[in-house]
Each structure stands twice: as structure tokens, then as C-alpha cells.
Structure 1
């Protein structure tokens, strides 16, 4: 009896233990099931706490991966986890970006033009009428001292009469006589003409105008205003000599100074005999071609590389074997409106037989670049909106955006994007097939 009771108690204890373990397992299962999240393999935005089907595509939901131990992302692991379109695996030849100075050149196109310091204007020093004209057309060669024209001027006649009167009536007053001579000089008379006037004692009614320069005529009075003479002033100036003529001459001189009054001119009117000119009117221009210069256009990005005195080699298209050595002399300090070129002027040394005004020429200016990174031109790929080089990192090539500067020969200057010693693909064009899916690093 006692033995049977003990067996019953042991059975009850075993049943109680099994019931307790089952309840714990059920609670744990319920707790685990409640923490599990289910999602759609095709639509990860669908998440719920119990199994089911995707309301979008109808697929069975699957449990999301459980929370495990957090993995530390090291530099090596991060490199492996990068997207596949950020690197290229290839065995192309490589090169290194080198920092150095290079002897570079700038190609320039230009034109031969006048040296503006050797283009002179011959004005009319007195008003009057052209009696004889010895310069007939533009580009007519003239020399210094050559007679250009003869002018009849009431003001000159009056000044001659004053000098003759002083020489005859007050020869001892040297200062007054010299002042009268100086007045004639300022009106355009030469010393030879003044000495002839004193020697002959007779005033000349026409005075010759001589060229003070060598060269040839350009712009022969391209804007010549006409003038209307005052007949009263002409008549008064042509009266007789003596004391009376001296007084009359003074009055006539004042009248004559204002008599050739300029009127509205016509553009392009050429000088001709019989026309009137006014004081200060530009009659013609004289250009001396013994010294010329060449004016070149330089791209705005390259003009800063040049300096005054930089050597320039000029070539002539019609004479490809001829070379002219010169130096940069002047930089125009502004850009022409709407242009992206700077003007550079180069003096041609000596009297050049090859150069003619208006002739088109080309030139190469040499300069030394500052220290910068240089790579072969083939190592940089222009993809339209940017330039790309392929830098080798841990056995693969990653594209990087670069900014290029001067190109010289087979090398190009890299302003930004690479560092000295970076290994890059020597031929970026070889990887052009990868350009469509490559993600460029800035």
C-alpha cells in the first residue's frame, strides 16, 4: 500500500514538471512569434508581424532576417561592399602623375599692322585756299621736306608784311624782329622761306607746305570740311605795304583768321586744288612703314602664361620656310566686346622686307610653366561635360573627374583631381566602353 502511494506521488510530480515545461515552451514560442516580422521578397516595403501573402503581388511573406551581431565595417570591407559601377577591373598599362615644369608654346594667329607711334597727321596751320596740290592719292610715297601743296592765306600775307616793315623801319629792334619771324614759323613757314622773304623784300602770296615725315600717304583727308572764304578779309589782306598797310594788315589778319569758316563737311572728300581749308584741319596722314608690329589674338585662358619679353617665332603662310624671331612687347589691357581673346603686340625687328601691312601671320610664343602635375594626353578622357582619368586603387581602376589646363605635345596639365604619384591608366580611351555605366568620383 505504501509503495503504491509513493509511485502515485512520483507520477504526479512528473506530470506537473511536464506541464510546467510545456507552458514555458508555449510562452516562449508565442513571444518569439510575436517578435518575428514578415516581408515580401519583391516588395520590401510590405512588413507585418504574422505570416500571410503580399497584397501587391500575392507572394507568400517570408520572415525577415533576425538581428545578429553587428558587423564592424572596416576600410577593406567597405571597399568590397562598394557598388560594382564605381570600379573597373582591367590590365591596361599605367602611368604616374608627375609634378614638373614644361617648356610650353602658345599658337597665335594675327595680322601685320602699323606702329601707331609712326603714323603722323599733317594739319593745316593756317586757313586758306589750296592753289597747287602735289599729293594726289592715298599710298603715294613721300619723303621728309617734299612739297605737298601751295596755299594762299591772308594771314600769312599779313605776317610777311609785318616782318618786312620791322626789318625796314626798326632794324635795331632784334627782339621784335625775332618775334615776327617766330610767328611766321608757327604759321608753317620754314627758315629758308623767311630768309628769302627778307632778302627779296617782297611777300609771297602762296606758301608751300612741306612734309615733315618720311613714309606714304594714308587717309588723305577722309573727312575734309569745306570752308567759305571772306572776300572782305581777302581784299583787306591784299592791300599795299608801308605804315598804312601795316595797320591795315593787322586788322586784316584778325579778319582773315576768322574768314575761312568751316561748314558742314562730307565724309570721303579728297583734297583738290581750289578748295579752302581751315586752321587745324587734318589734311592727310603719313605712315612710316620702316617699323611695323604684329597684333595677335591669344585665348583668354593662355594669356596669363605669357609675359613681356617672351620669345615669339613668326611664320608667313606664303613663305613657310621663313622664320622671324621677335618678342612680346605689349598686352592690350581689355577684351574686345563679345570676344574671348586678348590682344598681344609684337614689334618686328628692323626693316622687314617680308612683312606688309594687312598680311596674315601665325606665331608660336614660348614660356615655362610653373610646377604642376602632368600626365599623358591619352590618360585623360573627355566625356563631354567633364574630363575623366582612371586612378588605380587596390588593383582596380576608379574614374575620377579632373580639371585640365595647358596641353603641350603629348602631355596635359592636371590642375585638379589627382595628386603626385597617383597611378592612372595610360590609355583612358581603352576603357571608353565602361563610360556608360561608370559612376565618376569628384
Structure 2
């Protein structure tokens, strides 16, 4: 009986010990901590005594996860995963039919620019041509001027025809004098029919075309102010050819400079009144990037398109390539004559063109493999399982490919999509 009591007591102590161990294990299985203050650790849920946030489990004991082949890729580092998924390519050495995209503007042939000078001094009473690029036609009235010389010449012709009609030689000389002063045959015949001199004389255009360099810039204060005649006032002060120099003449405009014309201003003999360009033959000037000037030569085919006329194409050829760069510009000029340009284009119109040419053997890569970062173009070359940016010089393009003139070798391996490797918060350090 004594031994039986001892056995029951041992069993009771063993059961109590097992329950205590399970209880302690259950309570110690999960610890709770504050996300903001990790030094706070408790063995039961609650709130943080510092910030009042709810405590969260710190560690949960459970069964381990078996790593299978489907989950093995998750154990790779981030860099190795990204590099493994980037497609690569190698530069190809070949010859292609390259295309150069050009932007330009329609301009006029300077050899077809004509000046309309003032043949007589006087004052502009009425002006009919007032803005730049205004179209005019031959025989169109340009302005009406008051000129003492014209009044005197008209009166001389009328006097001779009335007092000495038999003196044909003097009458012919008087008619010729009026013609030298800018009068047309129709104006002279009208004068003889009416028998009265006109105090305002109309000047007509001798050319067809467009007016250029007219009132393009505001006149300077010294150029727009004209002095009054030295003697007399109004019409009397300009009587005779000798009185014309008494008025301060507007400065003579050189070629390419703006001509200022206003009603009421004085003009002198020889002063250019207008410059007219004949628009029957126009050309287009295009900017050519520095790396493509050697590819385009005289006679290269060019396809010109007009943004204002969708679908309209014009086939032409390169007529002139400027052999130098203008100061302050990074482009050379390429000139193309426009056949039938009088019907499709206008002076000042923006145009675009595609010039094609056969390239020499060169390295070609996909356009997406080259990234333009403003001052340079870069490609990402693979070196020891990582990609590093390298500066490249590009040439012409053909379809989805672009020519590499320097920076890569045929044995290099580069990323097919350079944009994929650019981090918006990083700076590309180029390895030359």
C-alpha cells in the first residue's frame, strides 16, 4: 500500500510537470513588439507604453517551407534576376540603304530678287504695299507720291504739245524724260488726253512676286524722323531737282536689311522702295547633323513632304551642300531646288525631307539599344555579367536600326533595350 501511494504521487508530479512545460512553451512561442519601438517586447498582446500603438507578433514558430524548383528563383539576388532577364545583341557589320530625316524651310533664290528703286524724289502720299511677303503682280499700283520733278516734267510736255506741236523732237525728249522719272506710256497718254498735270503720281511694279524685307523691324528713331526742307514749306519747298537734297534722306537699305516705308515719309532718287522676289523658282534649305554631312552629296535623292499638305510628296535631288558650318550653329546647310514649287510651296513654309544613301560597311544596332542623354548617346555593354554605359557616336538610321561610327566593336554584347537599364534616380557615368 505504501509503494502504491508513492507511485500515484510520482505520476501526479509527472503530469503536473508536463502541463507546466506545455503552458510555458505555449506562452513563450510568440513575442509581441512595437513596430516603432522594437525594444518593447511582451509575451502577450497589448499596446506600446511609449507611443500607444498595438503590439504585433515578433516571431511565429511554425513549420518550415520546403524549397522546390518552382520557388528556387526567389532565392536569387535582385541584380542577378534582372540581368538574367535582359535581352542582349551584338553589333552587325553590314551595308544598308540609310535614311536621313531632315527639317528645313522654303526660301527664295537670291538670284531672282529684284529691287524697285525710287527714280524721283518726293513724298509718299498713299501706300498700297504695307507688309512683308505681300504678293504683287506686274503693273500693280505700289504707291502714290508727290514729286516736284514729276510735276515740272508734266508741265513741260503739256507746254510743248500746246505751243509747239510741230517740234516732234522736243516733244519726244519731254516724253522720254517722264519715262526716265518712272512714268509709264499709259500715264503719259492719259496726261496728253486730259491736258492737266497730276500732283500725285502713281508708281507701278515692274515685276511679279512677293515683297520681302519690308517693315520687318521697327524703324530706329533717327531713321524715321525726316527733316523739313531748308527753304519754304509744303510743296513749294521741294520745287525742282536742286531742292531735293534739302530733305534728310532715309538711309539706303542694303541687301537683306529691312526697308521702312510709311505714308508721309520722303524718298530720294536711287533709294530702294521695295525688294521683290520671283517665286516661280524656290528652294528648300535643310539642316544636316554633323555626323551625316559626308553621306549626302550633290545628286542624292530626296523625298520632300509638306506638313500643311498631308500626303503630298515631292521627289527632288540635292543641288548643293554647304561645305562649312556657320558660326554658332551645329548644322550644315543642304539645298534642294523645288520643281513646280510655285504651286505647292510658299516662302517661309516649313518642310521635312527624307534623304537616302548607300552606306559603307559599318556597325549597326537596334535603335532601342542606344539612349540619347542630351549631350551624348550611350549603349549598355555587358562586362562580367553586369552592364556598364559606354559613349557611342551614331550615324545614319535605316528602319529600326542605327549606325554606330565609334564606341563599340563587333565582339561587344550590349543590351537590346537601353531604356530598361536607366534608373530615374541615378546618374549614368559613362566609361569611354
User: What is the TM-score normalised by the length of structure 1?
Assistant: 0.54
Q: Could you tell me which residue of structure 2 aligns to residue 339 of structure 1? A: 329
Q: Could you tell me which residue of structure 2 aligns to residue 372 of structure 1? A: 361
Equivalence map 1:235-314=2 (5 Å): 235=236, 253-262=240-249, 271-272=262-263, 274-286=264-276, 289-314=279-304
1:231 pairs with 2:220: no
How many residue pairs get matched?
A: 315
Determine if contact 1:228/1:262 at 8 Å carries over to the other structure.
no
Distance 1:303 1:137, change over 3 A: closer
Alpha-carbon shift at residue 210 of structure 1 (Å): 1.0
In structure 2, stretches of 5+ residues that fail to align are 1-86, 253-257, 383-389, 419-431
RMSD: 4.9
Q: Take 1:126 and 1:170, find their aligned partners in 2: how far apart are those partners?
A: 27
Alpha-carbon shift at residue 333 of structure 1 (Å): 4.7
Equivalence map 1:15-94=2 (5 Å): none
1:112 pairs with 2:106: yes
Match of residue 193, structure 1, among 183, 187, 192: 187
Q: Take 1:361 and 1:149, find their aligned partners in 2: how far apart are those partners?
A: 35
Distance 1:109 1:269, change over 3 A: closer
Determine if contact 1:107/1:362 at 8 Å carries over to the other structure.
yes
Match of residue 150, structure 1, among 144, 148, 165: 144
Distance 1:375 1:178, change over 3 A: same
State the 4+ residue runs in structure 1 displaced beyond 6 angstroms. Answer: 92-97, 380-390, 400-404
Q: Could you tell me which residue of structure 2 aligns to residue 55 of structure 1? A: none
Q: Could you tell me which residue of structure 1 aligns to residue 35 of structure 2? A: none
Q: Could you tell me which residue of structure 2 aligns to residue 103 of structure 1? A: 97
Determine if contact 1:110/1:362 at 8 Å carries over to the other structure.
yes
Deviates most, 331-340 or 195-204: 195-204
**Aligned to 1:156, what secondary structure does the other structure show?**
helix
Question: Could you list the per-position Cα deviations for residues 326-385 of structure 1 after superposition, in whole angstroms to 9, with x for gaps in the alignment?
Answer: 33233345423222101223233214655444443321112233x43455559x989989
Q: Take 2:173 and 2:117, find their aligned partners in 1: how far apart are those partners?
A: 23
Match of residue 184, structure 1, among 178, 189, 203: 178
Determine if contact 1:155/1:257 at 8 Å carries over to the other structure.
no
Determine if contact 2:261/2:273 at 8 Å carries over to the other structure.
no
**Aligned to 1:130, what secondary structure does the other structure show?**
strand
Q: Take 2:366 and 2:297, find their aligned partners in 1: how far apart are those partners?
A: 26
Alpha-carbon shift at residue 209 of structure 1 (Å): 0.7
Q: Take 1:319 and 1:204, find their aligned partners in 2: how far apart are those partners?
A: 48
Larger radius of gyration: 1
Distance 1:124 1:408, change over 3 A: same
